[in-house]
């Protein structure tokens, strides 16, 4: 009986020892190495990345499957904390959390020591190969730069887009980084912006003068400041002078006596300091225009003939040059052109009328009219050639003739109407070049008292 009891006790002890061994963690043996790696060393806030621990025995072979690796971090969290190896690899996930900073992630297993730590961008040998550092959020910023699109402000002010590029180690674009913009001129549509997947944050600057712009992310500020200049705009000037005579401007250009016209010369200049021009046009102010190209040579001249005045008053024109540069900006310059009347005498008109008694009836009376025109000749002498005569007979009727004589029949509705009435007759003589002269005459129209 005693020997049997001993066997039972022995079996029980062996069973207990076997169960304890099954529950104990399997850890890396002495002289093993453990190396951590991750596909990235930078993460945005609340980002995540896998972290891999590679555990190798002294002989260079992977540790036994099921070897436990415990992960820890100084910032954020790892899940799961403990992972069993498969083919020497134990993989967990690092979660960055909302705070910026540098997370130190470690992996430990038994007596394993640190090996070589690797990550995106190459291999880094450290004294703690079982530890990697991942920069989170603004702490991951290595450099920041700013550019403007377009790179200049228009001559009259305008808006440009500011683009800040934020990168981490090895030029990796950083997403989700808060960028603060600063400018010494103008205004920003927003002083802050967050980077996109390309590591770019954007805002708009509106200014009317040269601006110096910087951007800051984390502890990094773009240097030197990005300078946004005001680009040169189009500049153009125009002068005018008669083609005949010694006058240096077009303030009083006499019309020719023969054609009643005046010809002038315009000089159009693109001065130093102007932007490159794309197109230049002159509007002569009389309904006509002319293209002058792009003034690549700096100066252009063009002549133009204007019509003179049709009366004794000067005729005014304004010639305007419109210049458009390669950026689409425009500028104008104008000059006045005054055409004075040609040298002619005034047009004098007289009017005579007759209403013979032989051409009267009880209800009608015929009157004859004759206009006499003197003066208006070119060169200050002689009489002008009259092209037409316009007659207003005073009773609501009118007529136009090429000759200086005409007649008109006046009527009354009934014998009960007044037998005598007065009418004011007007005649206007017009020359071929549009000059006019007029005369008026009051006449007495008398109808016969008896029957016709």
Check residue 120 and give its pLDDT. Answer: 43
Check residue 115 and give its pLDDT. Answer: 66
Q: Which of 156-170, 394-408, 435-449 has the largest mean confidence?
A: 394-408
Check residue 217 and give its pLDDT. Answer: 94
**What is the average per-residue pLDDT within 1-14?**
46
Give the separation between CA 104 and CA 128, rounded to whole angstroms. Answer: 11
> Does position 20 have pLDDT exceeding 60, yes or no?
no
Check residue 450 and give its pLDDT. Answer: 62
Check residue 126 and give its pLDDT. Answer: 39
Check residue 432 and give its pLDDT. Answer: 79
CA distances from 137 to 97, 141, 169, 200, 203 (A): 9, 8, 13, 14, 20
Check residue 416 and give its pLDDT. Answer: 85
More confident residue, 269 or 225: 269
Percent of the chain with pLDDT over 70: 90
> Does position 33 have pLDDT exceeding 90, yes or no?
yes
User: 435: pLDDT confidence band, cut at 50, 70 and 90?
Assistant: confident
What are the tens digits of pLDDT across the range 148-163? 999 999 898 999 999 9
**What is the average per-residue pLDDT within 167-190?**
91
**What is the average per-residue pLDDT within 19-38?**
82
Question: What is the DSSP track for 34-67?
Answer: EEEEES-SEE-TT-EEEEEEEEE-TTSSBPPTT-
> Does position 254 have pLDDT exceeding 50, yes or no?
yes
Check residue 128 and give its pLDDT. Answer: 61
For the chain, the C-alpha Rg in angstroms (whole number) is: 52
- With 0-12 / 13-18 / 19 or more C-beta atoms within 10 angstroms meaning exposed / middle / buried, residue 3 is exposed
What are the tens digits of pLDDT across the range 126-153? 336 799 999 998 898 999 999 999 999 9
Instruction: Report residue 118 CA to chain centroid gap.
Output: 50
Q: Check if the beta carbon of residue 404 is closer than 8 Å to that of residue 386.
A: yes
Mean pLDDT lowest for which of 18-22, 213-217, 367-371? Answer: 18-22
Whether residue 80 is preceded by a cis peptide bond, meaning omega within 30 degrees of 0, is yes
408 strand-pairing partners = 367
User: 8: pLDDT confidence band, cut at 50, 70 and 90?
Assistant: very low
> Does position 22 have pLDDT exceeding 90, yes or no?
no
Q: To which residue do tokens 């609340």 refer?
A: 46
All domains of the chain, ordered by start, with CATH? 33-139 (2.60.40.10), 143-230 (2.60.40.10), 237-340 (2.60.40.10), 347-446 (2.60.40.10)
Instruction: Report residue 233 CA to chain centroid gap.
Output: 14
More confident residue, 115 or 342: 342
**What is the average per-residue pLDDT within 296-321?**
93
Check residue 175 and give its pLDDT. Answer: 87
> Does position 238 have pLDDT exceeding 60, yes or no?
yes
Q: Which of 8-12, 19-23, 32-36 has the largest mean confidence?
A: 32-36
More confident residue, 323 or 433: 323
Check residue 87 and give its pLDDT. Answer: 97
Mean pLDDT lowest for which of 72-76, 163-167, 205-209, 244-248? Answer: 244-248
**What is the average per-residue pLDDT within 385-402?**
96
Mean pLDDT of the chain: 89
User: 347: pLDDT confidence band, cut at 50, 70 and 90?
Assistant: confident
């Amino acid at each position: 009986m005693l020997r049997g009891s001993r066997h039972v006790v022995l079996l029980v002890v062996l069973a207990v020892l076997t169960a304890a061994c099954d529950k104990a963690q399997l850890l890396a043996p002495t002289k093993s190495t453990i190396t951590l790696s991750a596909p990235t060393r930078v993460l945005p806030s609340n980002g995540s990345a896998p972290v891999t621990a590679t555990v190798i025995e002294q002989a260079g072979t992977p540790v036994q499957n099921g070897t436990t690796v415990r992960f820890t971090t100084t910032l954020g969290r790892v899940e799961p904390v403990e992972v069993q190896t498969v083919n020497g690899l134990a993989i967990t996930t690092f979660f960055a959390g909302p705070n910026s900073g540098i997370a130190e992630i470690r992996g430990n297993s038994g007596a394993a020591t640190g090996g070589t730590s690797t990550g995106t961008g190459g291999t880094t040998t450290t004294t703690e190969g079982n530890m990697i550092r991942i920069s989170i959020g603004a702490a991951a910023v290595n450099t920041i730069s700013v550019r403007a699109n377009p790179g200049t402000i228009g001559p009259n002010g305008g808006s440009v887009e500011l683009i800040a590029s934020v990168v981490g180690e090895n030029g990796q674009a950083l997403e989700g980084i808060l960028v603060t913009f600063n400018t010494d001129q103008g205004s920003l549509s927003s002083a802050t912006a967050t980077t996109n997947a390309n590591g770019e944050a954007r805002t708009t600057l509106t200014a009317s003068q040269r601006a110096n712009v910087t951007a800051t992310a984390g502890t990094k500020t773009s240097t030197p400041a990005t300078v946004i200049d005001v680009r040169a705009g189009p500049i153009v000037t125009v002068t005018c002078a008669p083609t005949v005579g010694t006058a240096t401007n077009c303030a009083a250009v006499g019309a020719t006596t023969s054609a009643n016209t005046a010809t002038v010369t315009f000089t159009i200049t693109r001065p130093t300091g102007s932007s490159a021009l794309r197109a230049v046009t002159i509007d002569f102010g009389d309904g006509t225009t002319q293209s002058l190209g792009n003034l690549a040579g700096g100066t252009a001249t063009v002549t133009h003939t204007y019509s003179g005045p049709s009366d004794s008053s000067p005729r005014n024109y304004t010639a305007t040059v419109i210049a458009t540069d390669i950026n689409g900006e425009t500028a104008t310059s104008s000059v006045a052109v005054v055409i004075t009347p040609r040298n002619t005498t005034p047009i004098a008109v007289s009017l005579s009328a007759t209403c013979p008694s032989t051409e009267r009836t009880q209800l009608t009376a015929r009157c004859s009219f004759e206009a006499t025109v003197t003066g208006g000749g070119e060169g200050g002498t002689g009489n002008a050639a009259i092209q037409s005569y316009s007659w207003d007979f005073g009773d609501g009727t009118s007529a136009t003739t090429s000759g200086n004589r005409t007649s008109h029949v006046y009527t009354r509705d009934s014998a009960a109407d007044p037998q005598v009435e007065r009418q004011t007759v007007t005649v206007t003589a017009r020359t071929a070049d549009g000059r006019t002269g007029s005369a008026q005459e009051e006449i007495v129209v008398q109808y016969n008292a008896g029957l016709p």
